[in-house]
Structure 1
């Protein structure tokens, strides 16, 4: 056998080995590498009393069993200081049998912070089960102190200041009724909107929402270097993938100014979505699962420092 042929076989073997290693990492390792992210959100209309207020934002757990990932989420949350507010961004369920283990996850988080108010919205996963089963899930969440908002809003008072907290049903499957959600908004009052899919960002901005918390995209779940997310399931724009989107960034992505001063935060989520028609394939790559610790700040983000003069 020639040296050239031997060299080709060696390179082929190395390539196959690297591909197998990447597949193993994406399928078995990174999906369990849940991390806590810490983000400051600057909001010009935030009440002064809410400056520094902390939100524990958990989205898209997609629970089908209480396993290693769920235990890691609880352990990470146990290391955090008590938040002022807990928000669940929808997609509790990984399948129809996930109600009980999903409620166990919520319960264990609630027990860590028993005096912290907690709210939730539905994602598209909750509309894959029967209406009666979804009502059961809502009742179980209520038993552990989690209030589910479904196309409605309410006044929320913390630290002596009141904002409007609004929550719409899942936009992705067409269950969101924004007219109903925004019907009771108080002009001039800071508004926080919970919306599972960020596809309603332009409508929320136009309605005068100050902050929107969303999930659904999983950050793309697979992110390629330089190219970004593989797919985000966001009809508004693939570029609304994860992280913070202040008004200027949203305007740039949309290609027009929707109005208002909306800041959006999109979580990469905790759980996994499976590749269509391949129910065994649910990778994460360059997109670790996220538990978000958000700190609200009154005002505008600080300007970047100019480069040092030479």
Structure 2
């Protein structure tokens, strides 16, 4: 940790200790974690086929079920996503906080099954999904819910005679990501979206033919203070924390702030977030 980061986090921790008390503490723990923000973004590219004009994609991420986020809250989220009428639904990792301690049941599968998108539902592993011996049970859960895993692989999203490439890589912390393998069936003319749990991988992804990277993992910092910003973000989410980043002439990164919380059950100036992307040819 460099000196600037150390001072930022030390000052932030002090202000948090002093400020998150009374009404502010109640707000950060009980109110803001339930205040969902729906962020709408337009993606325009000459590589997007006309058949996909006004195509709607919903991304959600980092629910961390079991850590102050339950199935009743997930049920409400499923309803909100379906009300958006997406063509495609994407989950970018960390469904459950501690897979080895979570009470797995069919209700979770049923809720994920209820998500509706005519062009499919796709997911990638996050670090918490692999952690706690969760790799297999996460796969079985999403498979039963009709989600398609993108683990160093891609799917061609087809409409009429047109298509674009949706690729995904394994988690960078506890998995084995391989961008080249994920993109091996891509052609030079394909508009390409890559799902990568950790946003800081964008500095590597920019060297590959990817147009859009969608990530989560950071929780947007979860607790943010004026003039300071985020107090803490995990490894591989220290550079790109929240929102939209232009990485290169080719690559644009969007970092989702996630739905649930982890480590601490607080959100402050960092609401849970759904992303809605609309494609324009």
TM-score of the pair, normalised by structure 1: 0.76
The answer as to 2:57 corresponding to 1:55 is yes
Decide which moves more: 287-296 or 137-146: 137-146
Structure 1 distance, partners of 2:216, 2:52, is 23
* Distance apart, 1:290 and its partner CA: 1.0
Q: Which of the residues 121, 124, 131 maps onto 1:121?
A: 124
Q: Deviations over 1:43-95 (max 9, x none)?
A: 34222222211001111111116345323312322432x21101010101112
Q: Does structure 2 retain, via aligned residues, the 8 Å contact 1:219–1:267? A: yes
* Distance apart, 1:151 and its partner CA: 1.1
Q: Which of the residues 241, 252, 256 maps onto 1:263?
A: 252
Q: Could you say which residue in structure 1 is the equivalent of 2:81?
A: 77
SS of the residue 1:75 aligns to: helix
**Structure of greater Rg:** 1
Q: Does structure 2 retain, via aligned residues, the 8 Å contact 1:45–1:210? A: no
Q: Which runs of 5+ in 1 are unaligned?
A: 1-14, 252-259, 275-280, 299-310
* Distance apart, 1:245 and its partner CA: 1.7
The answer as to 2:95 corresponding to 1:92 is yes
Q: Could you say which residue in structure 1 is the equivalent of 2:12?
A: none
Alpha-carbon distance change, 148 to 32 in structure 1, aligned in 2, over 3 angstroms: same
Q: Does structure 1 retain, via aligned residues, the 8 Å contact 2:57–2:87? A: yes
Decide which moves more: 151-160 or 199-208: 151-160
Q: Could you say which residue in structure 2 is the equivalent of 1:19?
A: 21
Computed over aligned residues only, the root mean square deviation of the Cα atoms, in angstroms, reads 2.5
* Distance apart, 1:285 and its partner CA: 0.3
SS of the residue 1:272 aligns to: coil
* Distance apart, 1:136 and its partner CA: 2.9
* Distance apart, 1:233 and its partner CA: 2.2
Report how many residues are paired. Answer: 262
TM-score of the pair, normalised by structure 2: 0.83
Structure 2 distance, partners of 1:119, 1:287, is 26
Q: Does structure 2 retain, via aligned residues, the 8 Å contact 1:198–1:234? A: no
* Distance apart, 1:173 and its partner CA: 3.4
Structure 1 distance, partners of 2:171, 2:18, is 41
**1:153-302 map, 5 Å:** 153-173=154-174, 175-235=176-236, 237-238=238-239, 240-246=240-246, 250=247, 260-274=249-263, 281-298=264-281
Structure 1 distance, partners of 2:62, 2:142, is 15
Q: Which runs of 5+ in 2 are unaligned?
A: 1-16
Q: Deviations over 1:241-270 (max 9, x none)?
A: 122223xxx35xxxxxxxx51111111100
Alpha-carbon distance change, 18 to 153 in structure 1, aligned in 2, over 3 angstroms: closer
Q: Does structure 2 retain, via aligned residues, the 8 Å contact 1:51–1:296? A: yes
